[in-house]
Amino acid sequence: MPVTRAARSARKSFPSPPRTLAGQVFLLQLLVVVLLAGMIAAAFVFEAHRWAVREAYDRSLAVSETFAHAPGTRAAMESRDPSAILQPSAEATRRTANVTYVVAFDPNGIRWSHPDASLIGGHVSGGFAPAFSGEPFQETFDSTLFGQAVDTTVAVFGERGEVVGLVSVGITVQSVNEVVLGQLPLLLGLVAIALALAAGGSALISRRLRAQTHGLGPVEMTRMYEHHDAVLHAVREGVVIVSSDGRLVLANDEARRLLDLSADGIMDRSVSGLGVSRQIADLLASGRTANDDVHLVGGRLVSVNQRAVGGAGQRSGSVATLRDTTELRTLATRADVAHDRLQLLYDAGLTIGTTLNVTRTAEELAAVAVPRFADFVTVELFGPVFQGDEPTAAVTEMRRAVASGIRDDHPFLPAGRIISLVPGNPLAAGTVTGRPHIEADLDGTEAWRTVDPDRARRILEFGIHSLVSVPLRARGVVLGTADFWRSDQRSFDADDLSFAEELGARAAVAVDNARRYTREHSAAVTLQRSLLPRALPEQPALETAYRYLPAKAGVGGDWFDVIGLSGARFALVVGDVVGHGVHAAATMGRLRTAVLNFSALDLPPDELLAHLDELVTRIDAGWGADDEDAAVTGATCLYAVYDQVTGACTVARAGHPGPAVVAPDGRTTFPDIPGSPPLGLGGNMPFETAELQLAPGSLLVMFTDGLVQGRERDIGAGLALLRDVLAVPGRSPEDACQAVLEQVLGSLPSDDVTLLITRTSLMDQGRVAEWDVPQDTAAVSRIRTEVQQTLERWDLDELAHTTALIISELVTNAIRYGAPPLRLRLLHDQASLICEVADDSSTAPHLRRAEISDEGGRGLFLVAQFADRWGTRYLPHGKIIWTEQLLARPDLDAGTPDEETLLAQWADAE
């Protein structure tokens, strides 16, 4: 088909592609320049936008953080009128920082400040809840007032950690088009310059190529480029090309250096005949894929990477690259060592000092250091450290706390041995200078060997060759030394010395903490032991046994007592103060003393607890607001009064578990004792009592909640277990205590445990005498005669005269001043004779010294002189005046004044 003139004209309008190499290079450079210009423009637009947004984020965050934490911001937010303070400050900050707005608002979103004052008091738009976590909250949004903006919200916290307000700072993002248009002329100019340079460069290259190649075309130049291997000789990695039949095709200079190949005569030879190691030769000849295979060549570590080359599934050879990794491996080894040391320090921080026990802390240091840092570790501490005291310069002996290592048959002195600080001993030098000491070669250290030649010889013969001694120094005081020994590992060096010093510093802090805890614990234990009863008073009518176990956390506030009362009665008390330490022990002592004093008044259990509750409340009121830790909140008490004449037991409790009663046949019950709140909680709640009738031989078991309740056991399960353990007939209180501790408590408790077990018995009724006293003074003589007869029957003739005088005075006073019915009771226990006169009047007599002219008033004085103890015990109706005469009185041998001598004290001086 003939070509038309129009077609020919259109074909001429499109330039044909250049035929020369220079023209093709020029076209390629032009295309590259255009593409690069387009990419630069796109990247410029993207970067301008990203930079604008990032700059907005950073500025808003900086301004919001600065304003939120500025002095006075929190006080302004907590003031009565936050807007009056915050609005001027926010506007000044906005203008100074060149931001769009600074808005402060309360946690409910109500504005305190805004650039538009009319919007103050309104609710902020958008969410701000994430800022309550304490981290700044940033977001980008489109605002109708400001356009696209970046907002940062920061919370302001009060002293108790609550959010008192928030600060929001926003900045509008500048238009990307404005930024690009402002920079577009420069960009277009750079593109034009690049095109001009490309055109000029292409022309120069074309002329240069023609001159240097003498008219060679692209095919010839390509062939020359393919056979040119100058680049291979310039690279820093070795390159080895091996044919499919295992012959060397190419080895550059670096490959020859790494493989120790000769410079000539190696090409086209089999790799097995090049003199390289068998492993490398087999690898190069196999052509298999290899990734960082490391081989030792001479003194170098060579890493080999190999890939097969070829096409259409046929291998034409392989290319291997070689790299010298000797220095890299050395650095990697050092990095591994540094990593292991950091991990060891981290483990030391977690392991050392977990028990607040000095000896155990030293053992933890040895456990973490062996065998990761040393083969053997010995730790010596000054003697006062074990008792919780700081060592002084006068102390010249240390005690070994631990000696352990990779073997148990080491020649070191065992734990517990005393070590004297001998001058010149490297182990003692650190205690004086406070600096660590290293002995890389113990065999060559003369000073160390002369201190104890025999032991030094055995240590060296054992194979130990290197030592680092580190003083354990805390708060400027050297507490002891930690000695690290090596036998199987390499000798210590300077890096090991620095690491040992760091490890010793951490251990010293833990030892010091344990020492200080030991001191405080010892003080608390001493205080508590001084406040607890050293021994229970002997009571002929009962048998008691007790146990006290402090908790794991240390000394607590549990206490117990057995208190003798009038009328052959005694009080059993168990109490508990929540908490541990010196304060709990001191509080326990105050409450125990108060119970002893209140018991001396012969108060009923409910009245005694009421007085004790009032005392605790007054103690708490005496502490200031800053002394909350010193309050006595959480004190409980169980108080019981047992009468050995009747077998009655009156019990009351305040927030304390009730007692257990074990009948003689082993049946165990928990009587229902009315509950009351713990002491000191207020509320004026009355305390109630329960009356129990205990059969002779019964066990009354009183305990604190630490015995039956714990973290892994509720109180119901604990009481059930206690009941099963106690349900054994005929067991003594001592055996019962031991069984309870072994079967109920088990291991060391998490809370203090107090256990008091009492076996009851009744007084022989043959040692009890009672009389009804008529309201007639004439009956006094008859009653006195019957009392004397009773005393003769009891073989107490030596007390007949004084007892008759005492009864005469008490009965006469009751007849004259008391209210019927009147009763007289004599009780003869193993240690005393008790006389009780009861009437229905609540008026008690008072001891006084009568004047010379008085006709009466001397009777009670005489009673007080002849009786060892006397007092008044109030009943629900009436009172009892009682006296007690000890059967074995040391003053009898010295001569006790009779009534005539006593009456003579009021005789006329003339």
In contact, 138 and 57? CB cutoff 8 Å: yes
The pLDDT of residue 102 is above 80: yes
Show the CA angle centred on residue 320, arms to residues 317 and 322, nearest 5°. 165
pLDDT at 749: 65
The pLDDT of residue 702 is above 90: yes
Strand-pair partners of 559: 575
Mean residue pLDDT of the chain comes to 79
pLDDT at 14: 47
- Distance between CA atoms of 849 and 856, rounded to whole angstroms? 10
- Helical segments of 643-709, H only: none
pLDDT at 202: 66
Strand order in the sheet with 768-773: 768-773, 822-828, 832-839, 879-886, 869-874
* Pick from 82-96, 341-355, 850-864: least confident: 850-864
pLDDT at 175: 45
- Distance between CA atoms of 380 and 479, rounded to whole angstroms? 9
Residue predicted with more confidence, 739 or 46: 739
Q: How confident is the model at residue 665 (pLDDT cuts 50, 70, 90)?
A: very high
Q: What is the pLDDT of residues 250-274, one digit of tens each?
A: 788 788 887 878 777 778 788 877 7
- Distance between CA atoms of 474 and 508, rounded to whole angstroms? 6
* Pick from 356-370, 396-410, 617-631, 653-667: least confident: 617-631
State the average pLDDT over residues 554-575. 86
Q: What is the pLDDT of residues 324-336, one digit of tens each?
A: 877 766 666 666 6
Give the burial string for 329-339 (b: 16+ CB within 10 Å, else e).
eeeeeeeeeee
Q: Which two tokens stand for residue 127?
A: 């969410």
pLDDT at 688: 92
Question: How many CB atoms sit inside 10 A of residue 661's CB?
Answer: 21
Q: How confident is the model at residue 902 (pLDDT cuts 50, 70, 90)?
A: very low
pLDDT at 695: 92
Distances from the Cα of 803 to the Cαs of 718, 789, 823, 837, in angstroms?
52, 12, 16, 13
Asked if omega into 821 is within 30° of 0 (cis), the reply is yes
Q: From start to end of 326-445, where are the E strands? A: 376-382, 397-405, 418-420, 437-439
Q: How confident is the model at residue 8 (pLDDT cuts 50, 70, 90)?
A: low
pLDDT at 671: 95
* Pick from 178-182, 458-462, 641-645, 822-826: least confident: 178-182
State the average pLDDT over residues 442-457. 78
* CA dihedral of 585, 586, 587, 592, whole degrees rounded to 10: 90
pLDDT at 621: 67
State the average pLDDT over residues 783-802. 89
In contact, 757 and 741? CB cutoff 8 Å: no
Q: How confident is the model at residue 903 (pLDDT cuts 50, 70, 90)?
A: very low
Q: How confident is the model at residue 891 (pLDDT cuts 50, 70, 90)?
A: very low
Q: Which two tokens stand for residue 132?
A: 């309550």
Burial tier of 792 (Cβ tally within 10 Å: 0-12, 13-18, 19+): exposed
State the average pLDDT over residues 215-232. 60
| Three-state SS letters, 727-784 | CCCCCCHHHHHHHHHHHHHCCCCCCCEEEEEEEECCCCHHHEEEEEECCCCCHHHHHH
pLDDT at 847: 60
pLDDT at 721: 92
- Distance between CA atoms of 660 and 744, rounded to whole angstroms? 14
Q: What is the pLDDT of residues 677-694, one digit of tens each?
A: 888 876 677 899 999 999
Q: Judging by DSSP bridges, how do beta strands 477-486 and 376-382 pair with one another?
A: antiparallel
In contact, 559 and 574? CB cutoff 8 Å: yes
pLDDT at 853: 44
| Three-state SS letters, 777-823 | CCHHHHHHHHHHHHHHHCCCHHHHHHHHHHHHHHHHHHHHHCCCCEE
State the average pLDDT over residues 188-200. 72
The pLDDT of residue 668 is above 70: yes
The pLDDT of residue 856 is above 60: no
Q: What percent of the chain has pLDDT over 90?
A: 13
Residue predicted with more confidence, 774 or 203: 774
- Distance between CA atoms of 663 and 723, rounded to whole angstroms? 12
Q: What is the pLDDT of residues 495-543, one digit of tens each?
A: 888 888 888 888 888 888 888 877 877 776 666 666 666 666 566 667 8
The pLDDT of residue 848 is above 70: no
The pTM for the full model equals 0.52
Q: What is the pLDDT of residues 149-174, one digit of tens each?
A: 888 899 888 888 888 899 998 888 66
In contact, 839 and 822? CB cutoff 8 Å: yes
- Distance between CA atoms of 842 and 835, rounded to whole angstroms? 19
pLDDT at 221: 64
State the average pLDDT over residues 609-629. 71
* Pick from 828-837, 862-871, 901-910: least confident: 901-910
The pLDDT of residue 826 is above 60: yes
Q: How confident is the model at residue 231 (pLDDT cuts 50, 70, 90)?
A: low
The pLDDT of residue 97 is above 80: yes
